[in-house]
Amino acid sequence: MRTFDISQNSAQTTFDWSTLSDFYAEASPYFPVAIAGAIVWGLWLYRFIFSHRARPIVSDFQAATSVIVPSFHEDPDILMSALESWRQQRPNEIIIVLDVEDLAAYGRITALGDKTIRPVLFHHVGKRSALGAGGPGRAAASAAVS
Protein backbone atom coordinates (compact mmCIF):
# COMPACT_ATOMS: atom_id res chain seq x y z
CA MET A 1 0.00 0.00 0.00
CA ARG A 2 1.36 3.35 -1.07
CA THR A 3 0.69 6.34 1.18
CA PHE A 4 1.18 10.04 0.71
CA ASP A 5 1.82 12.41 3.57
CA ILE A 6 -0.11 15.68 3.56
CA SER A 7 0.97 18.35 6.03
CA GLN A 8 -1.93 20.33 7.36
CA ASN A 9 -1.59 22.63 10.34
CA SER A 10 1.48 20.70 11.41
CA ALA A 11 -0.58 17.51 11.82
CA GLN A 12 0.36 14.41 9.85
CA THR A 13 -2.43 12.92 7.69
CA THR A 14 -1.93 10.00 5.38
CA PHE A 15 -3.78 9.53 2.13
CA ASP A 16 -4.65 6.01 1.07
CA TRP A 17 -4.58 5.66 -2.74
CA SER A 18 -6.74 2.54 -2.62
CA THR A 19 -9.66 4.71 -1.44
CA LEU A 20 -9.39 6.76 -4.64
CA SER A 21 -9.26 3.56 -6.65
CA ASP A 22 -12.40 2.29 -4.92
CA PHE A 23 -14.18 5.58 -5.61
CA TYR A 24 -13.22 5.40 -9.30
CA ALA A 25 -14.53 1.83 -9.53
CA GLU A 26 -17.88 2.87 -8.02
CA ALA A 27 -18.28 6.11 -10.01
CA SER A 28 -17.03 5.00 -13.45
CA PRO A 29 -20.42 3.64 -14.65
CA TYR A 30 -21.89 7.13 -14.17
CA PHE A 31 -19.28 9.00 -16.24
CA PRO A 32 -21.26 8.82 -19.53
CA VAL A 33 -24.27 10.34 -17.77
CA ALA A 34 -22.06 13.06 -16.31
CA ILE A 35 -20.61 13.84 -19.73
CA ALA A 36 -24.08 13.97 -21.30
CA GLY A 37 -25.26 16.28 -18.52
CA ALA A 38 -22.27 18.55 -19.04
CA ILE A 39 -23.02 18.72 -22.78
CA VAL A 40 -26.71 19.54 -22.19
CA TRP A 41 -25.94 22.25 -19.66
CA GLY A 42 -23.20 23.63 -21.91
CA LEU A 43 -25.65 23.90 -24.80
CA TRP A 44 -28.21 25.56 -22.52
CA LEU A 45 -25.60 28.07 -21.36
CA TYR A 46 -24.59 28.74 -24.98
CA ARG A 47 -28.22 29.37 -26.00
CA PHE A 48 -28.86 31.53 -22.91
CA ILE A 49 -25.85 33.77 -23.48
CA PHE A 50 -26.37 34.23 -27.22
CA SER A 51 -30.13 34.75 -26.95
CA HIS A 52 -29.54 37.62 -24.56
CA ARG A 53 -26.97 39.17 -26.88
CA ALA A 54 -29.27 39.07 -29.93
CA ARG A 55 -30.98 42.29 -30.96
CA PRO A 56 -34.16 42.57 -33.03
CA ILE A 57 -33.80 43.17 -36.73
CA VAL A 58 -35.32 46.49 -37.72
CA SER A 59 -36.53 46.87 -41.29
CA ASP A 60 -39.35 48.43 -43.27
CA PHE A 61 -40.82 45.06 -44.26
CA GLN A 62 -44.49 44.58 -43.46
CA ALA A 63 -46.59 41.58 -44.38
CA ALA A 64 -50.31 41.78 -44.93
CA THR A 65 -52.27 39.33 -42.79
CA SER A 66 -55.77 37.96 -43.01
CA VAL A 67 -57.58 36.23 -40.16
CA ILE A 68 -60.19 33.75 -41.39
CA VAL A 69 -62.70 32.53 -38.83
CA PRO A 70 -65.27 29.83 -39.63
CA SER A 71 -68.36 30.31 -37.48
CA PHE A 72 -71.27 27.90 -37.39
CA HIS A 73 -74.15 29.05 -35.17
CA GLU A 74 -71.84 30.58 -32.55
CA ASP A 75 -73.24 32.65 -29.71
CA PRO A 76 -73.08 36.25 -31.02
CA ASP A 77 -71.84 37.62 -27.67
CA ILE A 78 -68.92 35.19 -27.60
CA LEU A 79 -68.16 35.88 -31.27
CA MET A 80 -68.13 39.64 -30.68
CA SER A 81 -65.82 39.19 -27.66
CA ALA A 82 -63.42 37.12 -29.77
CA LEU A 83 -63.68 39.69 -32.56
CA GLU A 84 -62.51 42.44 -30.22
CA SER A 85 -59.50 40.33 -29.28
CA TRP A 86 -58.63 39.82 -32.96
CA ARG A 87 -59.04 43.52 -33.70
CA GLN A 88 -56.47 44.39 -31.03
CA GLN A 89 -53.85 42.46 -33.02
CA ARG A 90 -54.46 44.82 -35.99
CA PRO A 91 -54.51 42.42 -38.94
CA ASN A 92 -55.17 43.85 -42.40
CA GLU A 93 -58.49 42.05 -42.61
CA ILE A 94 -60.68 39.75 -40.56
CA ILE A 95 -62.96 37.46 -42.54
CA ILE A 96 -65.70 35.74 -40.59
CA VAL A 97 -67.33 32.95 -42.58
CA LEU A 98 -70.84 32.65 -41.13
CA ASP A 99 -73.52 30.12 -41.90
CA VAL A 100 -76.34 31.46 -44.11
CA GLU A 101 -78.71 31.20 -41.15
CA ASP A 102 -76.48 33.27 -38.78
CA LEU A 103 -78.22 36.55 -39.60
CA ALA A 104 -78.06 37.87 -36.00
CA ALA A 105 -74.26 37.64 -35.92
CA TYR A 106 -74.05 39.01 -39.48
CA GLY A 107 -76.13 42.04 -38.49
CA ARG A 108 -74.01 42.75 -35.38
CA ILE A 109 -70.76 42.50 -37.32
CA THR A 110 -71.89 44.77 -40.16
CA ALA A 111 -73.24 47.27 -37.59
CA LEU A 112 -69.68 47.80 -36.36
CA GLY A 113 -68.84 49.61 -39.59
CA ASP A 114 -65.21 48.46 -39.51
CA LYS A 115 -63.81 48.14 -43.03
CA THR A 116 -61.24 45.55 -41.95
CA ILE A 117 -63.95 43.10 -40.87
CA ARG A 118 -65.81 41.23 -43.61
CA PRO A 119 -68.57 38.81 -42.75
CA VAL A 120 -69.20 36.22 -45.46
CA LEU A 121 -72.40 34.20 -45.57
CA PHE A 122 -71.67 30.65 -46.66
CA HIS A 123 -73.56 27.36 -46.66
CA HIS A 124 -71.35 25.32 -44.32
CA VAL A 125 -70.42 21.79 -45.24
CA GLY A 126 -67.70 21.73 -42.58
CA LYS A 127 -64.80 23.71 -41.15
CA ARG A 128 -62.50 22.96 -44.07
CA SER A 129 -64.99 24.23 -46.64
CA ALA A 130 -65.58 27.39 -44.60
CA LEU A 131 -61.83 28.05 -44.39
CA GLY A 132 -61.59 27.46 -48.15
CA ALA A 133 -64.36 29.99 -48.77
CA GLY A 134 -62.40 32.67 -46.95
CA GLY A 135 -58.93 31.60 -48.05
CA PRO A 136 -56.42 33.23 -50.38
CA GLY A 137 -57.71 33.72 -53.90
CA ARG A 138 -61.33 33.79 -52.75
CA ALA A 139 -62.16 36.24 -49.98
CA ALA A 140 -58.70 36.92 -48.47
CA ALA A 141 -56.62 39.62 -50.05
CA SER A 142 -53.28 38.61 -48.52
CA ALA A 143 -51.22 35.45 -48.76
CA ALA A 144 -50.43 35.32 -45.01
CA VAL A 145 -53.51 33.74 -43.48
CA SER A 146 -54.00 32.62 -39.89
Q: Residue 84: its pLDDT value, please?
A: 93
Mean pLDDT by runs of 10 across the 146 residues of the chain is 56 72 88 95 95 88 83 88 91 87 89 89 72 61 57
Tell me phi and psi for residue 78, to 5 degrees. -65, -40
The strand order across the sheet containing 117-122 reads 117-122, 93-99, 65-71, 144-145
Alpha helices (H) in 9-98, listed in sequence order: 17-27, 31-53, 76-88
| 0.75 surpassed by pTM | no
Q: Residue 136: its pLDDT value, please?
A: 59
Q: Residue 12: its pLDDT value, please?
A: 58
